[in-house]
Structure formats: C-alpha cells, structure tokens
Amino acid sequence: MSKKRWFHSGVIMICSLLACGLLLNPYRMVYGSSEYKAPGQSLHSNVGIREMTFVDLHRDRVLESYIWFPVAVSQTDEYKINKVFRGFKAVRNADITGEKLPLILLLHGTSGNRNNLHWLATTLASQGAVVVAANHPGSTTGDASPETVIRMWDQPADIRFLIQDIIKSDIGRKIDQAKIAVIGFSLGGYTSMALAGAQLEFERFPQFCRHNDIGACRYFSEVLIALDHDFYSKANQVQKDVRVTAAVAIAPGFTESMTEDSVAQLAAPVLMIAAEQDNQIPVISHARPLSHKVTEYYEIAEAGHFSFLPECLPGAIELLAEEGDEFVCTEPGQKSRARIHQQVRRRVTDFLKAQGLLEARN
C-alpha cells in the first residue's frame, strides 16, 4: 500500500512516516520547549530523560522507551524529532529527584511513537511524575499494518509488562506503586480505557463499519473479512489492570465496540478528552455516547484528531503539502495547536491532582 493511500484511509492515529517520526532518535539543537506552567504554579523541577529498552521474552516484544522524570539539574539538552514537529527540552541521564513519585505511562496511536505526547510528558515530569512512553511493535512508526494494529491485546499486555519491569528496575525504588496512571491517544486511548476496565465486544466493529464510512473502517476493511471466533475471543478478553489507579483517553478509538456495562463500571477513574472536529474518530459516534459514563468528559472546541500531535515547525505545512498531507499540521478552526495543548495539559493535570496522583500546589 502506498503511503498516500494508507495515510488518507487510515485510522485511530494516521500519520505519514515523515510526520509521525521518520527520525525516531532525537538529537541536540532544536526548537523551543513544551513545558507548561499553570497560573499560580511553579514547575516542580527541570525534566530529565533516559532511553531504555524493555524486552518481553515471553511475547518476543522489544519496547524502546523514553522515561521522563524530575531532576534538580538546571542544564538541559534540546531534542529534535524530525522536520515536521517541535522537539522538547530535557536533561540527559541525570538522577531522579524526589521519592514516592507517581508512574504515568503514555500510549501512542496507530503508526505513532514514543515522541508523540512529549509535550504532555514534560509537563507531567516537571510536576513530579515518572513518565514512560514506548514504541509498541505492530502499531508504531514504520511497523504498523491493519493486520497487526487490530491485535487489541498487544498494547495492554505491553503496559502490564512495562509496569512490572519498571518497578523492578532501579527507577522502581522512586515510584509509589499506589499511584499508577495511563494516558493514551487514539489507539492508545482505547488501551488506556481497556486497562481501566472497558471491555470490547469486537463483533460490533464490523457491524458499525457496514453503516459508517470513517477512516477506521476503511483502514481495516480487508482484515475484517478474515476475523474468526478465535480472534473475537481474544479481542474480547478483559484487559483490566488493577494497578492502574487513573486513566486518560484522548480521542480514543474503538469506543463503539465497548460494552455499556464495562464502561459504566470502570475500575479506575477515567478522563475522556475529545476533539469537536475530529474527522477520523467523530465525537458523535465515539465520544459523546460515553460522555455520561466516564468520570470526566472534556470536548475541545475547534480541535481535530491531529491537534494532539506535537506542535509543528515553521515550514512544516509546506513540506507536508508536497505529499498532500498538510492537514497533519492544519487546525480545523482558528484555535492554535499550542492553545489546544494548553487546554489538555490543564485538564489532565487537574484530573490527576483530583485523583491524588499529582501534588496540588497553590
């Protein structure tokens, strides 16, 4: 499948290789910082970063990860992602400051990667959290296809493994195991809800697609025909992890296939954030029907699906326009991506403070 066809028919989180991370390893000398400072608050500290690889030998999964955390060091390195998205500032390989810190795991969408929510990761780490984001095989940049993305059990199992291995690592002694949260975007949004207790009845997805022509349905159209009883049995398994004490789902996918009872009886508080003008996962079919069942629901006016990707660099729209993909960096309304991110940061930090994961400050 050509990039052009895949890009425009895609789902859950649709990105070209250029936009979502052709260059996966950041390096120094880039643009700006994505730190967020709420009114009346000072940042907990500077942000450190480590690159770690976790290997699940039982499942043959290699999870290349970034870990952000609070540090006392003031000198920061600047990290570049690619020619489209702004990077972030962090201190390389510094010591973690603080004790009994919350652990927050971030999940990317289809063809996304560990960089995609860096603008939120740095905010959370600056407020005293250990934040982990991994590349998930089968759904990450350069390694995603309908046949692998539709394996609804892979990301949840990755997170369960990551929690276990991070707690056993040297970082684990800094973590409060009673304070673990997950935050996911798009496909990752489904995963965050699943870990909080949402259960699929995946037979609903092909039924939904027979009557709805959205990106998700077009992307999976060829593989839906081959789904059998064994697949549905595995996809419909409970993915809940009792260690997860809060979850945030940003523009989550596959909500049309979640059972009403499971969403009404989520085991952990869930904040759902939706984009009013999401043309990939429309709010009318995917977010609003569940708005009264989650703990908090927040719909951002003038935001689209791609608004939750990092801010774009000057010249990115023109670069993407060469492939007809300028919509990755184009907002559907007058509101800037920076302002949309600010709204998300504020809502997420307020929610995590209310759940006791982040420390409330005056």
Amino acid residing at 311? E
Average pLDDT over residues 248-258: 97
The pLDDT of residue 74 is 77
* E-state strands within 57-150: 61-71, 77-79, 88-92, 101-107, 130-134, 139-140, 143-144
Question: Does 186 score more than 50 pLDDT?
Answer: yes
Separation CA 2–CA 8 (nearest Å): 10
The pLDDT of residue 361 is 61
Q: Give the pLDDT band of residue 39 (cuts 50, 70, 90).
A: very low
- Which tokens belong to 11? 């789902």
Q: Poorest-confidence range of 9-13, 169-173, 218-222, 331-335?
A: 9-13
Separation CA 265–CA 198 (nearest Å): 8
What digits encode the pLDDT tens for the residues 87-144? Answer: 999 998 899 999 999 999 999 999 999 999 999 999 999 999 999 999 999 999 999 9
Mean pLDDT estimate for the chain: 88
Nearest-10 Cα torsion for 23, 158, 285, 229: 120
What digits encode the pLDDT tens for the residues 70-85? Answer: 999 877 788 888 899 9
The pLDDT of residue 78 is 84
Question: Does 40 score more than 50 pLDDT?
Answer: no
The pLDDT of residue 226 is 93
Read out DSSP for 220-279? Answer: HHHHHTT--HHHHHHHTS----TT--EEEEES-SSGGGB-HHHHHT-SS-EEEEEETT-S
Question: Does 31 score more than 70 pLDDT?
Answer: no
The pLDDT of residue 323 is 85
Structural Rg of the chain based on CA atoms: 19
Average pLDDT over residues 142-147: 95
Separation CA 356–CA 176 (nearest Å): 12
- Count of Cβ atoms closer than 10 Å to residue 200 Cβ: 25
H or E element: which one contains 175? Answer: strand 175-185
Question: Does 16 score more than 70 pLDDT?
Answer: no
The pLDDT of residue 75 is 74
The pLDDT of residue 45 is 64
The fold for domain 3-354 equals Rossmann fold (3.40.50)
Contact by Cβ (8 Å): 37, 306 = no
Work out the burial of residue 346: count CB atoms within 10 Å of its CB; fewer than 13 is exposed, 13-18 middle, 19 or more buried: middle
Average pLDDT over residues 293-316: 96
The pLDDT of residue 77 is 84
Q: Between 6 and 285, name the one with better pLDDT.
A: 285
